[in-house]
Structure 1
Amino acid sequence: MDASSPLSLPRTVALVGLMGAGKSAIGKRLAARLGLPFVDADDEIERAAGCTISEFFEKYGEQEFRAGERRVIARLLEQPPLVLSTGGGAYIDNETRALMRTKAITVWLRAELDVLFDRVKKRTHRPLLRQGDPKEILDRLMQQRYPIYAEADLTVESTAQPADRTTEQVIDALRAHLQAPSAGVDR
């Protein structure tokens, strides 16, 4: 499989990382390049719940949200391969992480604090960022979550470069992963 041959994926590609890492922007481009459907887990959760994620958090709390998120992601991972953008906390949940590691190729879009903050500072729909200083919250989340995100199959740096360039890097990482001798072996 050389760099010009089409990439054939045996299972879903699940993008993980903090809010602002580019999971949706990169995911849409990646899906278009691979000829696969793009699904944003947060959109599917809102559709299933009949309300926004912010409203769900306010009504039921994070624990109930994570349970619903787990059910939605499990359903999505039963479908033919697609590109899945997950919420920032999805991969942190032990059960959801185990499910994604079994049924998907997980790609961590890793970004530095200033890049994340620049991308999220004007958005008001992030429930976790409304609980204090957004930059401090992002920094704390990075400290807590980055060691867990590091368990993903692949890591691609999400920098201030154009999204198309990051998408190329994800494709390159997927191609290298699929060419690895153990790529066809179940984990």
Structure 2
Amino acid sequence: MGAGKTTVADLLGRRWGLSVRDTDHDVETAAGKSISDIFVDDGEVAFRALERAAVTAALEAHAGVLALGGGAVLDDDTRAALAGHRVVFLEVGLSDAVKRVGLGITRPLLMGNMRARIKALLDERLPVYREVASLTVHTDGRTPQDVADEVARLVEAAERTQEDA
């Protein structure tokens, strides 16, 4: 949350001439309402089911850059579907996440003490993100362009290494 996933995905898509797909947008399209409304009307379990379906469909049909929602990898089936794909973890620290997210009005998981909720989410998710990621890029204090440039450099280097192997 607040790492810049969608923004960085858009920058990478333009750089590489690839289409970009955001699974949060796919969930909203499938449900016909915002993520906040899904949480309020249907609950988190319903949202996670829609998210799992969106990620699975995107992995099967999309050959470009894919941005996943911050909680997508918490699902065992989603993690299994990501196996064999290059997954980049955009790591954001608590301070930067709080600054970037703002008041979190449109983020249902941040109701209450925002700073405490973000810290709890980061603490819960960090081990899973690290487990799933094939590459990690730190985003604190950096512009989206700087982050995208580093992701591109690391991905391109990894591709060259695979070709040499």
TM bucket by the smaller chain? over 0.9
Report how far residue 125 of structure 1 moved. 0.8
Q: Structure 2 counterpart of 1:164, which letter?
A: Q
Question: What does 1:1-187 align with in structure 2 at a 5 Å threshold?
Answer: 19-102=1-84, 104-130=85-111, 132-151=112-131, 152-181=133-162
Secondary structure of the equivalent of 2:136?
strand
- Per-residue Cα deviation, 1:76-108 (whole angstroms, up to 9, x for no partner): 111241111111100111111111223x31100
State the alpha-carbon separation in 1 of the partners of residues 62 and 8 from structure 2.
20
Alignment CA distance shift 1:66-1:109 (3 Å): same
Deviates more, 1:104-113 or 1:74-83: 74-83
Give the number of the structure whose residues are more often helix, by fraction: 2
Distance 2:79 2:86 in 1: 11
Contact 1:28/1:38 (CA < 8 Å) preserved in 2? yes
Who is 1:11 aligned against?
none
RMSD value, Cα: 1.6
Aligned length: 164
- Aligned amino acid, residue 122 of structure 2: M
After TM superposition, the runs of 4+ consecutive aligned structure 1 residues lying more than 6 A away are none
Q: Tell me if structure 2 keeps the 8 A contact 1:24–1:85.
A: yes
Q: Deviations over 1:113-141 (max 9, x none)?
A: 111110001442100011x1111111111
Measure how far apart 1:183 and its partner are.
9.1
TM-score, normalised to structure 1, is: 0.82
SS at match of 1:180: helix
Gapped regions of structure 2 (runs ≥ 5): none
Higher relative CO (CA 8 A, sep ≥ 6), structure 1 or 2?
1
Q: Which residue identity lines up with residue 145 of structure 2 in the other structure?
A: D
Q: How far did residue 180 of structure 1 move?
A: 2.9
Aligned AA (2:24): D
